[in-house]
Amino acid sequence: MAEPAYTVASDSDTTGEEKSSSAFPEIAIGIDVGTSQCSVAVWNGSEVVILKNTRNQKKMRSYVTFKDDIPSGGVSHQLSHEHEMLSGAAIFNMKRLIGRVDTDPVVHSSKSLPFLVQTLDIGVRPFIAALVNNVWRSTTPEEVLAIFLVELKAMAEVQLKRPIRNVVLTIPVSFSRFQVTRIERACAMAGLHVLRLMPEPTAVALLYAQQQQQAVHENIGGGAEKIALILNMGAGYCDVAVTATAGGVSQIKALAGSAIGGEDILQNTMHHLLPDLEILFSKHGINEIKSTGLLRVATQDAIHKLSSQTSVQIDVDLGNELKICKVVDQEEFEEVNKNVFEKCESLIIQCLHDAKVQTEDVADIIVVGGCSYIPKLRNLVMSVCKRQELYKGMNPVEAAVCGAALEGAVASGISDPFGSLDLLTIQVTPLAIGIRADGNKFVPVIPRNTTMPTRKELAFTTVHDNQTEALIVVYEGEGEKVEENHLLGYFKIMGIPPAPKGVPEINVCMDIDASNVLRVLAGVVLPGSRHPAIPVMEVRMPTVDDGHGWCVEALHRTYGSGLDLVTIQKKI
């Protein structure tokens, strides 16, 4: 194909691009942007190496400080003390805030963070600001993430002595496609091109596939399929995957995820220590920020200690004659965080059920992520899977980034003479995608856990006689009603030939390619005719931008049910 004379960057944030056509493909680096910590890894030609920053750290805290004119992130910046991060000038937990509207409960639970998260509860993006010299300076999660990524990029460029453009990022399973576009936006702001976005447990699955492949090479034979259950729980999200691995191919069978994690555990425990935390913090003054910061650090320490001790003594002076002096034991801790563990359990059960896998068939259980050190979580996974032990071959905090680096090498077209890169992940869709039809119902066109790439279509029809227009509203999620799902976009089909209701057939086709680009096509066919009655519409989703919480209401107000659709019952 001839190179086009000029290229225009697509209006959407990614270009859905294939790999570069040069003879020496650039190896994409893998980045694991965690809610609290972040790491970068790359395939160096024979193995995956994790890059270290100038302070020799593999894991860098994910935060950006807006103290001086130039914001600085956790890659280059040295915290003089843990409390500095909690002074109000630093923004962190951006992964929990990115792409969420201010009606989202996750945003509300972030209000107790030591920076400003203001909500108006109308379905627009929340107002986020850092305290700089007693001034609330506004920013966005995308901006914070971009600043952080720029630092990561600079660090990697120095170490690898080449410009970095392509990256593979890990994302939580429960991210909607709108959130994914926000991540891509942040990468674009940082001058990075997203080659792939992998759900975190699938990156772990790829690493597992490589380890299995190597094990097979070492002791000849026995390359049978192995099923593994992967639980990845970090500070912000808990994700579960079931994968079937054989011959270096990791075939994801099911995914499940939710926005619960170490942050929820931390907040539950903080509330337990100081029940009227909200009241104390509502003023958002410098003193309040300081005292919650102190409490946060003390609670965090205590939780870390509880991973190895049965009880811990917490002594913290929050100022204002408020002192906390308490002993918390493991049982108490587990009771306080009961809801979190219950949610994890239900995710595991759901994932096994979706994968149609019995617990006896699971060969390995892999628990990774920052929360994998919590004894309760480990016990819980083992009891659900009826096992005595967990898989030991992985570093819990490095697994995801290593998997991302492997995917980066594979997707960049690198091959390894020793077959270490003879790998592939076959991904599935984490959430169902469908349209609004049959009244206010969500009708999935592509169900959850469908192997990607995929193309599916479903036929709908009109609800009114001589209906010439129809509204296609695309959602993503699991809820039966449309409101429970994420809006991805909408468009109108016009010029449907006048016909009685139920006669025109409106075909909605959805196509997802391996780089996870979703295209929605809609066309009209009249019975007896073989060709679409009007030109087919093709729309790349998501098309919604900020403030999309309003859109559905506005559409409903303007059109009512005049442009509705219903599903066609399949004749058997």
Partner 1 sequence: MDLGFFVVSLTLLFNDFERWRQRSTVIRCDNRRAGGKVRAEKNNYYELLGVSVDSNAREIKDAYRKLQKKYHPDIAGQEGHEHTLMLNEAYKVLMKEDMRRHYDASIGQMRVRNGTNYSGVAYSAWKGPLRPQALFVDENACIGCRQCVHHASNTFVMDEALACARVKVQYGDDEQKIEVSVESCPVNCIHWVDREELAVLEFLIQPQPKEAYGVFGGGWERPANVFMAAKSFSKQLKQQAATEHYQTRATREEETPAQAEARANAIRKLKMDRFSRFQNWVKEIFSSNMLSRD
Q: Which residues bind partner 1 (CB under 8 A)?
A: 1-2, 4, 7-8, 10, 15-19, 196, 225, 246-249, 251, 407, 410-411, 413, 422, 424-426, 451, 453-455, 457, 507, 509, 511, 513-515, 519, 521, 523, 525, 530-532, 536, 538
Q: Tell me how far, at minimum, the Cβ of 419 lies from partner 1, in Å.
A: 11
- Which of 19/271 has CB closer to partner 1? 19
Give the position of tokens 């994998």: 372
Instruction: State in angstroms the smallest separation of the CB of 364 from partner 1.
Output: 18
**How near is the Cβ of 231 to partner 1 at its closest, in Å?**
24
Which CB atom, from 224 or from 327, has the smaller least distance to partner 1?
A: 224
Q: Are 473 and 490 in contact (CB under 8 A)?
A: yes
* CB 307, min distance to partner 1, A: 37
**For partner 1, which is the closer residue by CB, 7 or 388?**
7
SS3 string of 275-294?
CCHHHHHCCCCHHHHHHHHH
CA distance 159 to 295: 37
Q: Cα dist. 404→196, 245, 416 in Å?
A: 9, 17, 17
CA atoms within 13 A on the CB side of 553: 6
Closest to partner 1 by CB, 81 or 571: 571
Closest separation between CB of residue 431 and partner 1, Å?
Answer: 18
Token pair 């509705």 in the structure block, residue: 564
Residue 530 vs residues 11, 459, 496, 524, 533: alpha-carbon distances, Å: 34, 15, 15, 10, 9
Nearer to partner 1, 49 or 509 (CB): 509
Residue 547 CB, nearest distance to partner 1 (Å)?
A: 28
Euclidean distance between CA atoms 41 and 400, whole angstroms: 10
Measured from the CB of residue 411, what is the shortest distance to partner 1 in angstroms? 5
DSSP codes of every residue in 318-331? -STT-EEEEEEEHH
Number of H helices, E strands in the chain: 13, 28
Our CB check for partner 1 shows the closer of 181 and 251 to be: 251
CB closer to partner 1, 10 vs 395: 10
Pairwise CA distance, residues 178 & 344, whole Å: 24
Which are the contacts of 454, defined by CB distance < 8 A and separation ≥ 6?
A: 429, 446, 511, 512
Spell out a b/e string for 465-503, using b for 16 or more CB atoms within 10 Å of the CB, else e. eebeebbbbbbbbeeeebeebbbbbbbebeebeebeeee
Q: Compute the least distance from the CB of residue 109 to partner 1, in Å.
A: 36
2 vs 554, beta carbon nearer partner 1: 2
Beta bridge partners of 42: 49
Closer to partner 1 at the Cβ: 439 or 497?
497
**Shortest gap between Cβ of 209 and partner 1 (angstroms)?**
11
Q: Yes or no: say if 47 and 207 are a contact pair by the CB < 8 Å rule.
A: no
ω into residue 542 within 30 of 0, thus cis?
Answer: yes
